[in-house]
Structure 1
Amino acid sequence: MADPNITGEGAAPIRPFYTRVLLKLGGEMFGGGEVGLDPDVVHQVARQIAAVVRSGVQVAVVIGGGNFFRGAQLQQRGMERTRSDYMGMLGTVMNSLALQDFLQKEGIDTRVQTAITMGQVAEPYIPLRAVRHLEKGRVVIFGAGMGLPYFSTDTTAAQRALEIGADVVLMAKAVDGVYTADPREDPNAELLTEVSHREVIDRGLRVADATAFSLCMDNRMPMLVFNLLTEGNIARAVAGEKIGTLVTT
């Protein structure tokens, strides 16, 4: 159940801790566990983002495409890796357009920028233009990943956060944060409230890919890993509440 002090009708104002954030959303969650899009999930995410934007926070978003295609899995079934990765990038664009639509319905001006040019549906990725959009209170959604095969959308999120000068990467997942082991396999796995990028890499704690953590570590970019499925958690993360796992250098 949503906390009435965080989001929803009659909610108290959000007190932002961050000024500009990069929100990374897993594509699998957009499908509600199925292939394709679950409009109810996208709507719920859009409502949370809209509440944060109305509080004055600048929000950029990177979305995965796992609800449509996963390049690595397609490769295991015999498809050439680069081609399957490009298919995955197109899946991220479909998710980006869906989120844009629901954000616009919430009254939030939104732009989609893609790393692969597709002028009829999105702007090209231009960092300075993205920053100007953010400064005007618009949400910017980055689609098509890095536009290159072999790079995950987690890595894209870290790179885009650095290029637009975000304060933090908000890594929204279907788990509560970073655990000492996979909680689905190890009942003794413990949730870490704080951990360093180096420790995550050295211990192989898999909640995002190592390249993303390494990029954040080298550039001192904090990352907050939290559960998107708890309504209001995006606002809690932006407000600096102690949820999930804070990963710092």
Structure 2
Amino acid sequence: MGSQQFGIDLETANRIAQEVKQAVEGGTEMCLVIGGGNIFRGLSGAAKGMDRTAADYMGMLATVMNALAMQTALESIGVQTRVQSAIPMTTVCEPYIRRRATRHMEKGRVVIFAAGTGNPFFTTDTAAALRAAEMGCDALFKGTQVDGVYTDDPRTNSDAERYDKLDYLDVLTRDLRVMDASAVTLMRENRIPIVVFSIHEQGGLAKVLAGEGVCTTIGKVRSQETA
């Protein structure tokens, strides 16, 4: 969305694509889970009186639009990609097939997962955790508006302090709202660390992959070869 109030900002999409390219060129196998809040949020639609199930499906379709935009941005700078949607729409992208996604990654392609889990009432956080577990990722990297997890929102509270490391249970018991509780629990059960960093820092993704950037790590990082 960039600085816009709505829609896709191509400059922002291109900048993030450069971040991904830098990470891939550094030797990381990568898959992306794309949200759709810049176009439509199912929860917001439901809050205004829309049927929750219909609103969530509309939100999933928004993620497909964003995934295609990211694919275009990545392909334009020489990064091979495949978009896989949890809601089959073979005219525009592949259906989600785990083994096919694995083969794409083995061939150096970036796989972009769209349409969440394909089910209403589940957020993009849960979809990201599910795909990380299914794909056997070494870590889940979450790019956010701030450079980690804080005791409070640093954008409104200047006294908020950033955590360097947290345990999964710390996040759940302190209700830190980094990700949905179901997503954190899934990562805990599969022993996949969550690394929270700022998506706005130039070169931030490559830095945290190298263990040099500012971030918060939830759980213990085993390896960072696959993100």
Shorter-chain TM-score category? over 0.9
Paired residue secondary structure (2:30)? strand
Q: What residue in structure 2 maps to residue 76 of structure 1?
A: 47
Q: Deviations 1:40-65 (Å, cap 9, x if unpaired)?
A: 00000001111111222111000110
Paired residue secondary structure (2:205)? helix
Q: CA deviation at 1:184?
A: 3.1
Question: Which runs of structure 2 are paired with 1:6-45 in the superposition (5 Å)?
Answer: 30-45=1-16
Superposition TM-score, scaled by structure 2 size: 0.94
Q: CA deviation at 1:186?
A: 2.9
Q: CA deviation at 1:188?
A: 2.0
Q: What residue in structure 1 maps to residue 131 of structure 2?
A: 160
Q: CA deviation at 1:117?
A: 0.3
Provide the aligned C-alpha RMSD in A. 1.1
Which residue identity is paired with 1:245?
A: T
The separation in 2 between residues aligned to 1:31 and 1:63, in whole angstroms, is 15
Q: What residue in structure 2 maps to residue 212 of structure 1?
A: 183
Q: What residue in structure 1 maps to residue 217 of structure 2?
A: 246
Q: What residue in structure 2 maps to residue 52 of structure 1?
A: 23
Paired residue secondary structure (1:226)? strand
Q: Deviations 1:75-133 (Å, cap 9, x if unpaired)?
A: 11000101000000001000000000010011011000000000011100000110100
Q: CA deviation at 1:212?
A: 1.0
Q: What residue in structure 2 maps to residue 142 of structure 1?
A: 113
Alignment partner of 1:223 is 2:194: yes
The separation in 2 between residues aligned to 1:57 and 1:220, in whole angstroms, is 19
Superposition TM-score, scaled by structure 1 size: 0.86
Q: CA deviation at 1:207?
A: 2.3
Question: Which runs of structure 2 are paired with 1:121-136 in the superposition (5 Å)?
Answer: 121-136=92-107
Q: CA deviation at 1:248?
A: 0.4
The separation in 2 between residues aligned to 1:243 and 1:187, in whole angstroms, is 18
Paired residue secondary structure (1:65)? coil
Cα pair distance change 1:166/1:55, threshold 3 Å = same
Question: Contact 1:112 / 1:140 at 8 angstroms: preserved in 2?
Answer: yes
Q: Percent identity?
A: 47
Q: Deviations 1:112-170 (Å, cap 9, x if unpaired)?
A: 00000000111000001101000000000000000000110111101101101111000
Q: What residue in structure 1 maps to residue 225 of structure 2?
A: none
Cα pair distance change 1:233/1:242, threshold 3 Å = closer
The separation in 2 between residues aligned to 1:211 and 1:183, in whole angstroms, is 25
Question: Contact 2:204 / 2:213 at 8 angstroms: preserved in 1?
Answer: no
Q: What residue in structure 1 maps to residue 223 of structure 2?
A: none
Q: What residue in structure 2 maps to residue 190 of structure 1?
A: 161
Which of 110, 115, 122 is matched with 2:86 structurally?
115
Q: CA deviation at 1:31?
A: 4.3
Q: CA deviation at 1:218?
A: 1.4
Which residue identity is paired with 2:40?
A: F
Pick which of 181-190 and 34-43 moved more.
181-190
Q: CA deviation at 1:187?
A: 2.8
Question: Contact 1:177 / 1:226 at 8 angstroms: preserved in 2?
Answer: yes
The separation in 2 between residues aligned to 1:243 and 1:92, in whole angstroms, is 28
The separation in 2 between residues aligned to 1:182 and 1:33, in whole angstroms, is 22
State the aligned residue count. Answer: 220
Cα pair distance change 1:77/1:96, threshold 3 Å = same
Paired residue secondary structure (1:208)? coil
Question: Contact 2:45 / 2:52 at 8 angstroms: preserved in 1?
Answer: yes
Q: CA deviation at 1:32?
A: 3.4
Paired residue secondary structure (2:50)? coil
